[in-house]
Structure 1
Amino acid sequence: MTHPITHTGISRRRAVATLGLGGLAVTLVPLSAEATPDSAKKLLSDLVKAAPKAGKVQIKTQEIAENGNTVPVRITVDSPMTDADYVKEIHVVSDQNPQPGVASFRLTPASGKAEVEFRMRMAETQNVIAVAVMSDGSAWTAAREVKVTIGGCGG
């Protein structure tokens, strides 16, 4: 019987994922049991101290997701990403998923641009809400409704 050779060191891919590429790190947000518009709002108010204003944030995703199992989402924030003016955090919540917290991203000027891209599962039609916290403490937000025709979270 042959045994596969295993490598006990850390791979370059794991090191990049662990340390964060270009100053980007992902933090999982503590999640509650069932998302509602109110629980999504509360989570954002716990994460972001400033009252978010509309603008600077864009959410790019499908208007209609034929399958909620994997919906691509891209969040971009209008920011020069300089030492004096950059996006510190991007928080993403959903108001109808089993959990309101989707992801939180921490950025630095070394990130180069204020853009994150990921895929998420959506159980049903819902709003995806993103809030960007800037280096000066201000917060900006955007929301986008995604209509799901086949649920991705057991629906």
Structure 2
Amino acid sequence: MQTRREMLGRSAAVAGLLAGLGLLPAAAQAAWSGAAFDAKTLADLTRALGVATPTESKDITIQGPDIAENGAVVPLGCATALAGVARMMILVEKNPAMLCALFDVTDAVEPSFNVRVKMGQSSNVMAVAVMGDGRVLFAQKEVKVTLGGCGG
């Protein structure tokens, strides 16, 4: 009968052999556009992503507090019921990096996402949907950030 120690030793040897042959999967890596996350303005962001200028739409919704008492953790959400969404984004206008979240969407995914972002000051927050046909739609909401819970 094998002891636990012997089994673990053989398992480690097999794992080492498989890794050496390249048969184990590599670590998952997130692909992201550095230029998009470095963009400071909406024009720079659209240029970095290669999309058209967004137009306002009632079909895109943005959720978030009117007044955020803690700018370090502001809950935001974006959603749409439109078919053919290829990408959803959440933007905060006055953040050092305007692009806060970017989600690639397929038809198998409901385009509804919730995130928590850091906001340094009161700003407009936008939910942007890039459609499969090239249209870019957005919704906007102002979120006021207060310090210490004082009204803003």
| Superposition TM-score tier, normalisation by shorter sequence | 0.5 to 0.7
The aligned residue for residue 25 of structure 2 is none
> Residue 130 of structure 1 aligns to a residue in which SS?
strand
| Structure 1 residue 144 corresponds to structure 2 residue 141 | yes
Q: 1:51 aligns with which of 33, 50, 53?
A: 53
1:43 is displaced (CA, Å) by 1.1
Runs of 4 or more above 4 Å deviation: 26-29
The alpha carbon displacement at 1:95 in A equals 1.5
TM superposition shift of 1:47: 2.1
From 106, 120, 123, the counterpart of 1:123: 120
TM-score, structure 1 as length reference: 0.67
Retained in 2: the 8 A contact 1:91–1:132? yes
User: SS where residue 42 of structure 2 aligns?
Assistant: helix
Structure 2, unpaired ranges of 5+: 1-11, 16-27
Aligned residues: 120
Residue of structure 2 equivalent to 1:32: 38
Residues 132, 57 of structure 1: alpha-carbon distance in 2 compared, 3 angstrom cutoff: same
Distance 1:44 1:92, change over 3 A: farther
Give the number of the structure whose residues are more often helix, by fraction: 2
Instruction: Tell me which amino acid in the other structure corresponds to 2:131.
Output: M
How far residue 143 of structure 1 moved from its aligned partner, in angstroms, is: 1.2
Match of 1:110 in 2: 108
- Give structure 1 stretches of 5+ with no counterpart: 1-7, 10-17, 20-25, 80-84
Check the 8 A contact 1:44/1:93 in 2, yes or no.
Answer: no
- Give SS of 2:108's match: helix
Greater Rg over alpha carbons, structure: 2
Q: Secondary structure at the residue paired with 2:97? A: coil
Matched with 1:3 is: none
* Structure 1 Cα separation of the partners of residues 123 and 133 of structure 2: 31
Which range moves more in the overlay, 130-139 or 44-53?
A: 44-53
Deviations 1:91-137 (A, max 9, x none): 222111121121111010111x2111111011110111221011222
- Paired AA for residue 49 in structure 2: L
Seq. identity, %: 32
Query: 1:61-140 to 2 correspondence within 5 Å?
Result: 61-79=64-82, 85-111=83-109, 113-140=110-137
| In structure 2, distance between residues paired with 1:98 and 1:144 | 18
